[in-house]
């Protein structure tokens, strides 16, 4: 590993120790990867791309040493909870719509059924002047 990269890793580890000890000097002291990057003086994307192992190490240490859940995990858990509620609501709505569809189909069948109609359709009446009949099919 080259020297600048090793220097970044050292600064990140030192920043981890400061944040976990509650002695932040540069960042706001929150237990996030963004605060870790600010505290270490490295670009946040550097932490996410080149030093992802240190980011995971930090999150694990936050979980173990402070008994806190990392912010990213909190947000993901909240999103999962919201999505589960959405799925439950949509499943209930689909169930209600299917029941309504069945009721409407039955109502339509009852309303269109005329018990007084004969089995054979009635003879066609006179054709109005504005209708041109199709010629009979030869097939």
* Domain of residue 80, residue span: 72-109
My answer on whether 64 and 7 are in the same domain is yes
What are 105-115's pLDDT values in tens digits? 998 888 887 76
* Count of domains forming the chain: 2
Within a domain: 125: no
Residues 61 and 100 in one domain: no
pLDDT in tens, 5-62: 788 899 999 999 999 888 888 888 888 889 999 999 999 998 889 999 999 999 888 8
What letters, b where the CB count within 10 A reaches 16 and e where it falls short, cover 85-108?
eeeeeeeeeeeeeeeeeeeeeeee
> pLDDT, tens digit, for every residue of 68-99?
777 778 889 999 999 999 999 999 999 999 99
In-domain check, residue 126: no
Per DSSP, the three-state class of 7 is helix
pLDDT of residue 135: 78
- Residue 114 belongs to a domain: no
pTM of the model: 0.51
Q: Cα–Cα distance between 17 and 24 in angstroms, integer?
A: 9
Residue 18 is predicted with a pLDDT of 92
In this predicted structure, what is the pLDDT of residue 11?
Answer: 92
pLDDT(1) > 60: no
Instruction: Answer whether 32's CB lies under 8 Å from 72's CB.
Output: yes
């Amino acid at each position: 590993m080259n020297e600048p990269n090793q220097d970044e890793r050292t600064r990140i580890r030192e920043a981890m120790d400061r944040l976990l000890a509650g002695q932040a000097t540069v960042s706001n002291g929150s237990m996030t990867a963004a605060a870790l990057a600010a505290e270490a003086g490295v670009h946040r994307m550097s932490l996410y791309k080149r030093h992802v192992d240190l980011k995971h190490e930090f999150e694990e240490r936050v979980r173990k040493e402070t008994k806190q859940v990392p912010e990213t995990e909190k947000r993901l858990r909240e999103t999962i909870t919201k999505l589960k509620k959405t799925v439950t609501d949509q499943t209930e709505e689909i169930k209600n719509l299917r029941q309504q569809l069945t009721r409407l189909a039955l109502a339509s069948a009852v309303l269109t059924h005329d018990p007084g109609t004969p089995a054979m359709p009635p003879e066609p009446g006179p054709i109005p002047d504005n209708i041109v009949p199709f010629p009979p099919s030869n097939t």
